[in-house]
Copies of this chain bind each other. A is one copy, B any other.
């Protein structure tokens, strides 16, 4: 265990003004899950930049358990795409009637077009954090990875870069096909790239598609 240097209290605290708060809310409103990507590459260094922003997120015990992996091996990318297409077809079996037709019309991933595939893992065996804060709720280690992903998503949208989360995957097969270490849990698989222009909207795609309207605000906050 090291002893930290005294914090540098000469750095002045930032103030965030009203125009910034307004733009931050605009960012929250316009951040979308993107499934329609252009195929051209992102500028060099962009993924590194985004992961640096993500890694400023909080983590339980400061364990920083996120492991972002850019998947470039064509065989691995093809295995994930096939995994998704299988899982997506199987998941469709739970719907019938108009809902099944609506499901068939949804585009649920940009795996074939997105230039960047980012697999995101939680390193469950990391010694960092020394177990602090996760003896009774060990799931908080994975939750820390989600906070980082959310931050990456915002940083990307602010740079006009699109991110789409592909959750329709058999995670055990994906873990095996990617050759991930046994102690790493697959938390998310992201497509990243320039979005098609018609994806730009302040209305979630699933609202636009008539799949799910916003939930009544009264369901968000309760007082007990």
- A130 in complex: contacting residue of B3, B212, B219, CB < 8 Å: B212
* Per-position 1/0 for A128-155, Cβ under 8 A of B: 1111111111011011001101110111
Interface residues on A, range: 35 or more
Contacts of A103 in B (CB 8 A): 132
* Per-position 1/0 for A1-30, Cβ under 8 A of B: 111100111010110100011011111111
- A210 in complex: contacting residue of B3, B47, B142, B167, CB < 8 Å: B3
Contacts of A102 in B (CB 8 A): 1
- Whether B70 pairs with A201 at a CB distance below 8 angstroms is no
- Whether B213 pairs with A2 at a CB distance below 8 angstroms is yes
- Whether A158 pairs with B24 at a CB distance below 8 angstroms is yes
Scan residues 46-73 of chain A and give those whose CB is less than 8 A from a CB of chain B.
Answer: 47-48, 51-58, 60-64, 66-73
Q: Which residue of B lies closest to A21 (CB)?
A: B158
**How many copies of this chain does one complex carry?**
2
- Whether A136 pairs with B170 at a CB distance below 8 angstroms is yes
In the docked arrangement, what's the CA distance between A140 and B149, Å? Answer: 13
Contacts of A55 in B (CB 8 A): 217, 220
- Whether A133 pairs with B108 at a CB distance below 8 angstroms is yes
Contacts of A42 in B (CB 8 A): none
Contacts of A129 in B (CB 8 A): 206, 212
- Whether A221 pairs with B16 at a CB distance below 8 angstroms is no
- Whether B133 pairs with A168 at a CB distance below 8 angstroms is yes
Can you show 15 pairs from A to B with CB atoms below 8 A apart? A4-B210, A25-B155, A28-B155, A58-B204, A62-B206, A62-B211, A69-B222, A69-B224, A70-B223, A76-B224, A130-B211, A134-B167, A137-B169, A147-B150, A178-B224
Report which A residues bind B (CB closer than 8 A).
1-4, 7-9, 11, 13-14, 16, 20-21, 23-33, 47-48, 51-58, 60-64, 66-73, 76, 87, 90-91, 94-95, 98-99, 102-103, 106, 108, 119, 126, 128-137, 139-140, 142-143, 146-147, 149-151, 153-155, 157-160, 165, 167-171, 178-179, 187-188, 200-204, 206-215, 217, 219-224
